[in-house]
Amino acid sequence: MTTLTTQLIFISLALTLAGCDKLNVSTVTSLLAPAEKIQVASPEESNFQVNGCNLTYKGQSLIFNTNIDEWVKILGPYDRVTHLANDVYFWDEIGLGLFSSTGKHRADELQFEFNETIAFSEDNIRATHGERLRKTKREANESRSKTPFTQTLWVNGAAIKGNWDMSKVNNQLYAFNPKNPHYFGEAYMPTIFGSRFACDKEAPPYFNEGEIGIRVDVNPQNKNEIKVLSLGVTLFSEEYLKDRKATPSFSSRYFKNVVERVVVQ
């Protein structure tokens, strides 16, 4: 019987005795801590880094909810912009797409195009019946970067590449911050994974309570292959904070979901 199996059986028994609603996250954290020593990934080889909520490129902050021109000062001129459901600014040689609400010229969400930079092949488009649908597919291709993102993205102690091992990434996140670890977990679809990291309101560049959300879309035929990674920062308004009820962090939900799956099994 493996160590992980033993741990999960122990968690199941603890929940059976105590009830899922009394789940102690810190206890489960210690139980699910990596059995082997995992080193934090070095940020030295990564031009793009996420430290808390702060996204940087070669040490310079790329700040969300600011004018696109501020990003151009750091990344250089974008190659093109498409105007479909959103305005999307592309740095094709890097493999980036920066999304903005139509006409706002504001940095809302950044996409790293790791693999498959077109949605539909030309053969697929030619075989499609109806010019309107063919046009829609061509527009979908135009909404992707022309070349893939080939670098490493460093996220709070974890190295994320085009081919990833989610367990290793999660272990690196744990090693970086074992007292308050955050994990990538399956979202509302089996091909989508996500995590959220709280902003440090004492740290630049935001100085507000909020969070950075990271979404990973993977290849349905190979979940170790990332197709697109998206991230953006949300700052909480004073009205939201006033009305907000205490909610568990993403990490505690992750633990609870793990435990619930074990109990069902």
Q: 3-class secondary structure for the chain?
A: CCHHHHHHHHHHHHHHHHCHHHCCHHHHHHHCCCCCCCCCCCHHHCCEEEECCEEEECCEECCCCCEHHHHHHHHCCCCEEEECCCEEEEECCCCEEEEECCCCCECCEEEEECCCCCCCCHHHHHCCCCHHHHHHHHHHHHCCCCCCCCCCEEECCEEECCECCHHHHHHHHHHHCCCCCCCCEECCCCCEEEEEEECCCCCCCCCCCEEEEEEEEEECCEEEEEEEEEEEEEECCHHHHHHCCCCCCHHHHHHHHHHHHHHHC
Tokens linked to 191: 């091909």
Nearest 5°: the CA angle 247, 248, 252 is 170
Contact 215, 184 (CB under 8 A): no
The per-residue pLDDT for 187 is: 83
Q: Which residue has the tokens 């290793």?
A: 168
The per-residue pLDDT for 121 is: 74
Q: Which residue has the tokens 């309570």?
A: 209
Query: Is this structure's pTM higher than 0.85?
Result: no
Count other Cβ atoms within 10 Å, centred on residue 18.
12
The per-residue pLDDT for 257 is: 53
Tokens linked to 131: 């010019």
The per-residue pLDDT for 32 is: 54
Amino acid in the structure at residue 197 = F
The per-residue pLDDT for 224 is: 92
Phi/psi at 188 (nearest 5 deg)?
-80, -5
Contact 197, 249 (CB under 8 A): no
Contact 217, 113 (CB under 8 A): no
The per-residue pLDDT for 200 is: 84
Residue 64's contacts (CB-CB under 8 Å, 6 or more residues apart) are 55, 107, 108, 109, 110, 232, 233
Q: What is the pLDDT along the chain (265 residues), one digit of tens a residue?
A: 444 444 444 444 444 444 444 445 555 555 555 556 778 899 988 999 999 999 999 999 999 999 999 999 999 999 999 887 889 999 999 999 999 998 899 999 999 999 876 667 778 888 788 888 887 777 777 777 888 999 999 999 999 999 999 989 999 998 998 887 778 988 888 899 999 888 888 888 998 888 999 999 999 889 999 999 999 999 888 887 777 765 544 444 544 554 454 444 3
